[in-house]
Structure 1
Amino acid sequence: MLMPVLGQFADTVATVLLAAAGAWLCNQVAADAGTPLWQGRLAREVTRRWNRNTSVACAVVLGGHIVAARLETGILGFGPALRSRAEQVDVTGLQDPVLLAVQALASGLREEVPLLLLPAAVMAAARRPAWQILMVVCASRVIPHAYLGLPCLASAVFAAVGWWMYRATGRIGPVIVGHMLFKLALMGPVGFPVQLLAPVFAVVLLALTPDIAPRWMTKKSPRNCSTEVEKPV
């Protein structure tokens, strides 16, 4: 009677250990290339120096994941999915909500470090142009989700948003936390209207944070610029 529960528990422990080991291995690979991904422990890297920029970046990453999920649903109308999101639970054999939540949270660490942080940091150190890094980051995220069929293309959206926020803040912590919050939002009692409002709220916050916002969002109109010119004394 306890075998299914023990099996799910062992699978969850293995997933968490694999995520931690994968992050450590990625850091070692980058360190051997002369570009360590973080100094000290990853937990400290994720939690340290949270300010307005990192908080807004986290909100933008969360909004990007929600937009990608909505796009994935829309793409289903153009082509069949090989597997649905519900079938993923059956494939992993996880029916316990607590264990499923642990695995979902671990996915933030398991995916963002090897699929975003490692290629972005190593390619940036090699002075590769931004568009090449973006292409590699998006391809690295789409290919592992190819089992979804055509909807896997939506993965490129949150991959691009994650890279953008990592590049703007120089921190992987907001990207990992935003990914985890998205998983919690999917499993928790978060209504559909709230999920739709999250990306809008993130865009508003981004527009009010010029340090990480794109130039076109913070660029002032010529009329405003002319009124701000100081009058000669």
Structure 2
Amino acid sequence: MPDPTIGERIRGAFRDKDALRPKAAVFSLTATSAGRVLGELAGLLLLASLTGLINGAAMVAAIYGVQWEVSDLLGMTQLACSAVLGAWLTWRVRQRPDPKGTPRWWPPLRTPAAGVLALTVFFTAIPIDSMLHDDVGPALFGCAVAWLAVEVCRAHGVWADNGAPYTAVQRLHAWQIAQMGFVACAATGFLFGWLAMFFLWIGPDSVPVMQDDQLSALGISGPVELVLAVVRAVVIEDVVIVAATVTLMKAVRRPTWEIYTLICLIEVALHAYFGLPAIGAAVMAAGRVWLYLRYRSLLPLMVSHALWDFVPTLQSLPSIPRMALGIGLILTVSLVDTRLKKAAGKGKPSAPSPVAPAAAAGDEVRNP
């Protein structure tokens, strides 16, 4: 006579396997009017992308041989955006109530911290030729816009992330999402390169294509400049353009196609300095939006995006060190993946008893 527990064991094994996969996200709705939410989102996106759009338009014009001097316009735009950002952020921070469990020392410091950041962002936006204005200021501006995006989401009763991973299963889920995010970025990078070669083959005189490498086009010449540029890109593109946009638009029940369309258009415009190959940015945008819509996990997307943004620095290395670094990276990823799966396997939930109601797979995963 067959063992009556075999079928349950098989079903339990499948439940255990599913428990080690990231769970689909659930987005909250807001009671605030849709017009107000979308209006604040439009303001966030304008602050986050306006200077990048102006700079990208100037670079595209330069590809066509049109020299458009925008330094004064960029300086005044950045200064105006910094003033609006500082006032808006300080006001939002002052208006936010303190939830239960907030440390007593934080509320008295929160508003002064926002004020100090706002003043720092404003003064570093003053158009003078220095590293503070060219590199530190934009990075701080991006961090301030990201903070404002978090405050806007909180004000409307929604939250843009599931939180940091605490358990072994949650850490494995975050690792899997980061891997998928890195693949989306890598696919975009290869698409950029392929499109550039294709359009150059067609004829550089008829199709706008960036002639220099990405770092040269952005004026990045040192490691400090690169780190600050990556910080700005990650906090603006992932926190504001992806997470806040998806969260707020889902909160007012906007259709998914509108979310994809808006974010892809913004990302393509921000990468306009690539020329026509910038259309490849839509792939990275769509991939990250899909991951965020499915899992609502922000930190893994930020980490994978930051790691990919450092890849262009490998182009300057000789072939042998580049190959050695690549092999070391592959081995490190494999080791981390194995250790996380092993740790998550030890803590995975056991199969539920046939007499007890089956618990939802992945109870260890924190619900939004």
What's the TM-score once normalised by structure 1's chain length?
A: 0.68
Distance 2:133 2:250 in 1: 38
Q: Deviations over 1:77-131 (max 9, x none)?
A: 1364443462653543x32223323322442112111211111001111122323
> 1:193 and 1:68 mapped to 2: Cα distance?
21
Unaligned regions of 5+ residues in structure 2, if any?
A: 1-128, 201-206, 342-368
The reply to whether residue 78 of structure 1 matches residue 205 of structure 2 is no
Q: Which of residues 134, 140, 156 is equivalent to 2:282? A: 156
Aligned residue number for residue 189 of structure 2: 69
The answer on whether the counterparts of 1:61 and 1:162 sit within 8 Å (CA) in structure 2 is: yes
2:132 corresponds to 1:12: no
8 Å Cα contact 1:53-1:169 kept in structure 2: no
Q: CA deviation at 1:180?
A: 0.4
**Residues 85 and 161 of structure 1: is their aligned pair in 2 closer, same or farther, counting only changes over 3 Å?**
farther
CA RMSD of aligned residues (A): 3.2
1:136–1:87 CA distance, 2 compared to 1 (3 A): closer
Partner of 2:230: 104
Gaps (5+ residues) in structure 1? 1-5, 40-44, 210-233
Say if 1:82 and 1:149, in contact at 8 Å, map to a contact too.
yes
Q: Are positions 1:113 and 2:234 aligned together?
A: no
Change over 3 Å in CA distance of 1:58–1:91 after alignment to 2: closer
One-letter code of the match for 2:153? A
CA distance in 2: counterparts of 1:91 and 1:138, whole angstroms? 21
Q: 1:29 to 1:68 in 2, by over 3 A?
A: same
Indicate which of 233, 245, 267 corresponds to 1:141.
267
Alignment pair present for 1:89 and 2:216: yes
| Alignment partners' CA distance in 2, 1:191 and 1:160 | 30
Conservation of the 8 A alpha-carbon contact between 2:165 and 2:171:
no
- Quick one: distance in 1 between partners of 2:286 and 2:218? 28
Counterpart contact for 1:101–1:187, Cα < 8 Å = no
Native 8 Å contact 1:117 1:172 kept in 2: yes
CA contact (8 A) 2:210 2:275 kept: yes
Contact 2:264 2:285 in 1 (8 A): yes
- Which residue of 2 is the match for residue 129 of structure 1? 255
AA partner of residue 182 (structure 1) = W
Larger Rg over CA atoms: 2
C-alpha distance after superposition, 1:131-185 (max 9, x if no partner): 3222222122112222322111111111111112112222111111110010123
Are residues 149 and 143 of structure 1, via their aligned partners in 2, closer, same or farther at CA, if it must alter by over 3 Å? same
Residue correspondences, number:
189
1:38 CA displacement: 5.1
Report the more deviating stretch, 146-155 or 23-32.
Answer: 23-32
Relative to structure 1, is the Cα distance of residues 53 and 81 closer, same or farther in structure 2, using a 3 angstrom cutoff? farther
Residue identity in the other structure for 1:17: L
Q: Does 1:25 align with 2:151?
A: no
Q: TM-score, normalised by structure 2?
A: 0.45
The alignment partner of 1:83 has SS state of coil
